[in-house]
A and B are shown apart, each in its own frame.
Chain A
Amino acid sequence: MANSSAKPLIRRHAEIGIFLIGAVLIVIFASTSDGRWANLYNIGTILQVTATLGLMSLGVAVVIGTGEIDISVGSTFGMGALAYLWLAAQVDPAIAAVAAVLVGAAIGLFNGLLVTRTGTPSLIITLGTLMIFRGIAIALTEGFSFSIPYAARKGWTYFVLGGGDFLGFNTALYWLTTLTVILLAALKATPFGNRLLAVGGSAESAHSRGVRVDRIKLSAFVLCGTLAGFAGTLEAGKLGFADGSMGRLMELQAIASCVLGGCLLAGGRISLPGALMGAFVLSSIQSYLVVTGVRPQWFILVLGLIVVLAAYGDRSLRQWALRK
């Protein structure tokens, strides 16, 4: 009986898989870590990591929604963080944050223009820009890091931009919540969202109905870059320093979050709550490995294994749901 009602629900909501996996992992992690994982301080840390990774994942999800991919977000994130710290030392952090977000948007625009104007697959374009902007970030820092000492990080703008906690949670989490609500509304309830998903579902059909496919894709890339730049800003606001490797490999985590969260890489079907849950699961796994003292050299290996298992579990669930 339960099966017959659960199946259509899982079919319609691809993100259910990741929520179940998340629930299972939370139980396992909480019961096997002697309270080192499941305490308010650690959850707060996980949520701070989820917030910055989640913002990136939202952007990547939007691009995946159009049937493209952006793997340059890790470098965009790093560039956003560097731009913020470099400027925040000289002007008000709010202005620095705007500039950092604009840097992200500009990288997104660059990606989007290359993809739409040349017709080259976004995978290879953004792989290239991933390296280009990582290279620029490394060249800019040249071995030293950008930092603002803790004592200098006073005032509400630092606080709001990831530098403080509100009601026990880093302010980045509130940014994530707000932006998720806005993006969800834009995706589900505006013509822009309708056209964006149409482009991902069938670019040809969308084009034949008068949708300007290239503009939609371009705006998705700009949005993605903007969010990655902002995520970098919040992370830099939290840490107070950044070097050339800031955000490395985060692009892979962001894509993994989206796919685990039920976003179809072929485009047209994405779930923003799913992508966020994916980000939460990845951050939780990392935190668990840290608090249980897994040796750093095994860390990536174990993380990868859990991701593969989670992806397999999700796929099995979906296939089960598709069977009559």
Chain B
Amino acid sequence: MENSNPLIQVKNLDLHFGAFHALKNVSVDFHAGEMIGLVGDNGAGKTTLIRVLCGIYAPTSGEVFFDGNKVQKFHPKLAIDQGIETIQQSVGLCDNLSIARNFYLGREPVKRVLGIPFLDMGKMREKSTRVIRQFGLRANVSADDEVERLSGGERQSVKIGRAVEFKNRVVIMDEPTNHLSVREREHVNELAVQLKEQGLLVIYITHDIFQVHKLADRIVIMENGEKVADATTDSMTAEELEEVIRQGGRVVEKREAV
């Protein structure tokens, strides 16, 4: 794994929101077939980093390479076209649209009538219905229901189901098990492992170092917009990594200096 070229390579990334320095000189490599646990406290910059990777934010400076090519323009459309699926924590579903419409938002299947693209609602309903059944949504929820009706867990299931359905090369999960029941959480974690085993790069963001330590190949810890640790899970225990987070990354700075 270490010899192959990284699928995503981040080099010296900086991002400012006005006076706020959200990402500070972040460099990190992600490989295909790898599951990364991206861990850190609130405001550490985890979500900001993945929002750059999925095209929502453009960095102030620094470079991102995808599959060896430098990313020139940042837009979610480009990232999705490249095969990066992201399960965002707070965004991704429009309450006013049905599940089927949300499922295909931005890449709607069409049937052309006289050259005019009309939504292929049949296909949209069929696929999204299959996914919501797989994820065990309430039996009375249909693909035509507005997302507004769904509970937090159901919304999360729709987002995860969508990402898995369109899985391509990279799946980024931002706190995927929030709002989920124990059973649903296990299901999501199994899915994440399966995706990795199918050769995808999975980036799994969480607060819970113990949970992700069991799943991931490598843990990247962020603190105050900086990467403070990057270690394989067999080289450091969850307890050691938790200590790094508790110390705000200072311990690791010493270790890196050695």
Question: Nearest Cβ in chain A — how far from B100, in angstroms?
Answer: 10
Question: Nearest Cβ in chain B — how far from A261, in angstroms?
Answer: 16
Are A205 and B117 CB-contacts (below 8 A) given A211-B106, A212-B77?
Answer: no
Does A269 touch B at the CB level, under 8 Å? Answer: yes
Q: From residue 71 to 126 of chain A, which have CB atoms closer than 8 A to chain B?
A: none
Q: From residue 156 to 203 of chain A, which have CB atoms closer than 8 A to chain B?
A: 185, 189-191, 194-195, 197-198, 200-202
Residues of B within 8 A of A149 (CB): none
Q: From residue 93 to 140 of chain B, which have CB atoms closer than 8 A to chain A?
A: 93-97, 101-102, 104-108, 110, 116-119, 121
Instruction: Flag if A201 contacts B94 (CB, 8 Å).
Output: yes
- How far apart sit A191 and B107, CA to CA, in the bound complex (Å)? 8
Does B141 touch A at the CB level, under 8 Å? Answer: no
Does A295 touch B at the CB level, under 8 Å? Answer: no
Instruction: Flag if B119 contacts A198 (CB, 8 Å).
Output: no
Instruction: Flag if B97 contacts A207 (CB, 8 Å).
Output: no
> Per-position contact with A for B149-164: 1 when CB-CB < 8 Å, else 0?
0000000000000000
> Per-position contact with B for A214-225: 1 when CB-CB < 8 Å, else 0?
000000000000
Does A209 touch B at the CB level, under 8 Å? Answer: yes
Instruction: Flag if B92 contacts A205 (CB, 8 Å).
Output: yes
Are A198 and B97 CB-contacts (below 8 A) given A209-B76, A211-B105?
Answer: yes
| Residue among B54, B96, B108 making CB contact with A208, cutoff 8 Å | B54
Question: Taking each of A189, A204, A269, which has the highest tally of chain B beta carbons within 10 Å of its own beta carbon?
Answer: A189
Residues of A within 8 A of B79 (CB): 210
Residues of B within 8 A of A268 (CB): 94-96
Are A208 and B91 CB-contacts (below 8 A) given A194-B97, A194-B119, A197-B97?
Answer: yes
Does B180 touch A at the CB level, under 8 Å? Answer: no
Residues of A within 8 A of B108 (CB): 191, 194
Residues of A within 8 A of B104 (CB): 194
Does A138 touch B at the CB level, under 8 Å? Answer: no
Are A201 and B106 CB-contacts (below 8 A) given A189-B118, A189-B119, A190-B118?
Answer: no
Does A321 touch B at the CB level, under 8 Å? Answer: no
Does B233 touch A at the CB level, under 8 Å? Answer: no
Question: Nearest Cβ in chain B — how far from A206, in angstroms?
Answer: 6
Residues of A within 8 A of B92 (CB): 205, 208-209
Instruction: Flag if B56 contacts A208 (CB, 8 Å).
Output: yes
Does B9 touch A at the CB level, under 8 Å? Answer: no
Residues of A within 8 A of B77 (CB): 210-212
Instruction: Flag if A210 contacts B91 (CB, 8 Å).
Output: no
Q: Considering only CB atoms, which chain B residue lies closest to A193 in the complex?
A: B119
Are A206 and B94 CB-contacts (below 8 A) given A190-B116, A194-B101?
Answer: yes
Residues of B within 8 A of A197 (CB): 94, 96-97
Instruction: Flag if B76 contacts A208 (CB, 8 Å).
Output: yes
- How far apart sit A230 and B1, CA to CA, in the bound complex (Å)? 63
Residues of A within 8 A of B110 (CB): 190-191
Residues of A within 8 A of B101 (CB): 194, 198
Q: Considering only CB atoms, which chain A residue lies closest to B56 in the complex?
A: A208
Does B238 touch A at the CB level, under 8 Å? Answer: no
> Per-position contact with B for A6-28: 1 when CB-CB < 8 Å, else 0?
00000000000000000000000
Question: Nearest Cβ in chain B — how far from A8, in angstroms?
Answer: 12
- How far apart sit A195 and B110, CA to CA, in the bound complex (Å)? 14
Instruction: Flag if B118 contacts A209 (CB, 8 Å).
Output: no
Residues of A within 8 A of B86 (CB): 208
Question: Nearest Cβ in chain A — how far from B132, in angstroms?
Answer: 18
Instruction: Flag if A202 contacts B117 (CB, 8 Å).
Output: no
- How far apart sit A205 and B105, CA to CA, in the bound complex (Å)? 10
Question: Nearest Cβ in chain A — how far from B76, in angstroms?
Answer: 4
Are A190 and B117 CB-contacts (below 8 A) given A210-B80, A210-B106?
Answer: yes
- How far apart sit A191 and B110, CA to CA, in the bound complex (Å)? 8
Does B75 touch A at the CB level, under 8 Å? Answer: yes
Instruction: Flag if B117 contacts A191 (CB, 8 Å).
Output: yes
- How far apart sit A197 and B79, CA to CA, in the bound complex (Å)? 22
Instruction: Flag if A200 contacts B96 (CB, 8 Å).
Output: yes
Question: Nearest Cβ in chain B — how far from A270, in angstroms?
Answer: 10
Q: Considering only CB atoms, which chain B residue lies closest to A202 in the complex?
A: B94
Does B88 touch A at the CB level, under 8 Å? Answer: yes
Q: Considering only CB atoms, which chain A residue lies closest to B116 in the complex?
A: A190
Residues of A within 8 A of B75 (CB): 210, 212
27 A–B pairs (Cβ distance < 8 Å), ordered by A: A185-B118, A190-B117, A191-B108, A191-B110, A191-B117, A191-B119, A194-B105, A194-B108, A194-B119, A195-B106, A198-B101, A200-B96, A201-B95, A202-B94, A205-B93, A205-B105, A207-B56, A207-B91, A208-B56, A208-B88, A209-B80, A209-B106, A210-B55, A210-B79, A210-B107, A212-B77, A268-B96
Sort A-B residue pairs by CB-CB distance and give the 7 closest, nearest first.
Answer: A201-B94, A210-B77, A201-B96, A268-B96, A210-B106, A209-B106, A191-B108
Q: Which residues of A contact B (CB under 8 A)?
A: 185, 189-191, 194-195, 197-198, 200-202, 204-212, 268-269
Q: A198-B105, A202-B95 are in contact. List 17 more A-B contacts (CB 8 A).
A: A197-B96, A197-B97, A198-B102, A200-B96, A201-B95, A201-B97, A202-B91, A202-B94, A204-B91, A205-B88, A206-B106, A208-B86, A208-B88, A208-B92, A210-B75, A211-B76, A211-B77
Q: Which residues of B contact A (CB under 8 A)?
A: 54-56, 75-81, 86, 88, 91-97, 101-102, 104-108, 110, 116-119, 121
